[in-house]
Amino acid sequence: MRSITSKMILAFLGIGLISVVLIVLLVRWNTKMEFTRFVSDRRRADFVTTLADYYRASGSWEGVADVFEPSGDMPPPEPGPAGESPLTLADASGRVILASAGYSPGDQIPRSELDAGIPVEVDGEKVGTLIIAHMRFEQNPREVEFIHRINLMLLYSALGATAVALLLGIFLSRTLTRPIRELTLATHAVSEGDLSQQVPVRSRDELGELAKAFNKMSAELARSVNARRQMTADIAHELRTPLSLILGHAEAVHDGVLLPTVENFEIIREEAGRLENLVDDLRTLSLADAGELSLNPQPVAPQKLLQEVSTLYRYEVKKKNVTLELDVAAGLPVLMVDAGRMIQVLTNILENALRHTPRGGDILLSARQVNDGIELSIRDSGSGIASDDLERIFDRFYRTDASRHRENGGSGLGLAIAKSIVQAHNGGIRAESETGQGLTIIITLPGKT
């Protein structure tokens, strides 16, 4: 199978050859026609001049036929199809002197044909009319040589144009297919596991857009693979800690190192519960990724959602001396959501906000209408998040402070789960923050239609 480069070279060469052949044929035909017309006009002028000179010298048309004999002063044109002479000469009165097919000497030529003929004048006086039926002349050697040289020139030009078309075809095909070759090599490298491939963007056309799309795809694929690797490592780390504690305490109790007290069994139970919560979170995310997250939408008032969440955390905010306030606009339309899932979203966000709000701080839960939807937001008065971290807080197992321990930092799945559930409701979620100004998580949900 030919490569695309070879196909493009052959295509350019074929187009060039067809164009050159057509141009050569057209130029050759046109040159021959124009040259024949030029020779005919010159011969016609020579005929008239010879006849005028003959009449001036002899004073009459007597013996004028000798002028057109092969041995005469002017070689005659080629005879017609029936061998007849193509020339007819009439005197000043229009009577035939030198006859051709259709006329005899002494015949009167009609005025219309005389007007179409060529007048022969001597000293400004019309002495006759020359009528030529056709003008086909045998070319002399120099004229034949001229046409031959023109044909050779056209042939050489055609060969040169073909060579130029071939070179241009090679150059253009290689130039156009170079990005494709680079993309092909990069694609093979990616398929073999090298996700660092980037191809140069050499133009702003469709090939340039394709190169940009490939580079973006390669970068996103590398980021996705790295994220999955990191997530796998994070999952292993998150599972290892509670499992180690459970196994360690169980073996210690079994071997008699630790007494089977309520405190030791409580540690095992807490770690088992933490492990169960982590597995549930991972299952929720996997269902959301597969589009199989079960939802039971019901009409719910935004105020009811926020009030229920604030009630759940009444003890925690009081214990930490944090003020929890509600700001719900009046007359909001109801939401068509799964209330249980949305409470899970809000509690995940509120728990994260409470974790980062210092003692004596405040948290605000608000709801307002935006266009055709409802906007729910949770704002805390914590230290805020840097802009570089703001776009990644919804990533799984991502922590803005990498040194935070799981005991006081959570598993890193809360906001990721919140994002998955909101997107399953055809909503959107975003974060706004400035360092030292707290963090605001904003959820946008469509109202009931």
323-328 and 362-370 as β-strands: parallel, antiparallel, unpaired?
parallel
Long-range Cβ contacts of 33-39 (<8 Å, 24+ apart) = 35/143, 35/146, 35/147, 35/150, 39/137, 39/139, 39/143
* Lowest mean pLDDT segment, chosen from 214-218, 308-312, 392-396: 392-396
pLDDT score of 391 more than 80: no
Given this model, what pLDDT does residue 403 score? Answer: 42
Given this model, what pLDDT does residue 182 score? Answer: 83
Taking residues 287-300, report their average pLDDT: 84
pLDDT score of 404 more than 50: no
Per the prediction, the chain carries an average pLDDT of: 81
Taking residues 176-205, report their average pLDDT: 82
* Lowest mean pLDDT segment, chosen from 18-32, 69-83, 248-262: 69-83
Taking residues 322-340, report their average pLDDT: 91
Given this model, what pLDDT does residue 363 score? Answer: 94
Structure tokens at 31: 């040159």
Given this model, what pLDDT does residue 345 score? Answer: 92
Q: Which residue has the higher pLDDT, 444 or 205?
A: 444
Please, what is the Cα angle at 75 between 101 and 111, to 5 degrees? 40
Taking residues 26-36, report their average pLDDT: 77
Given this model, what pLDDT does residue 350 score? Answer: 92
Q: Is 315 helix (H, G, I), strand (E, B) or coil?
A: helix
Given this model, what pLDDT does residue 400 score? Answer: 60
Taking residues 350-372, report their average pLDDT: 91
Q: Residue 431 — φ and ψ, nearest 5°? A: -125, 145
Q: Which residue has the higher pLDDT, 30 or 408?
A: 30
Structural domains in the chain plus CATH codes:
206-289 (1.10.287.130), 298-446 (3.30.565.10)
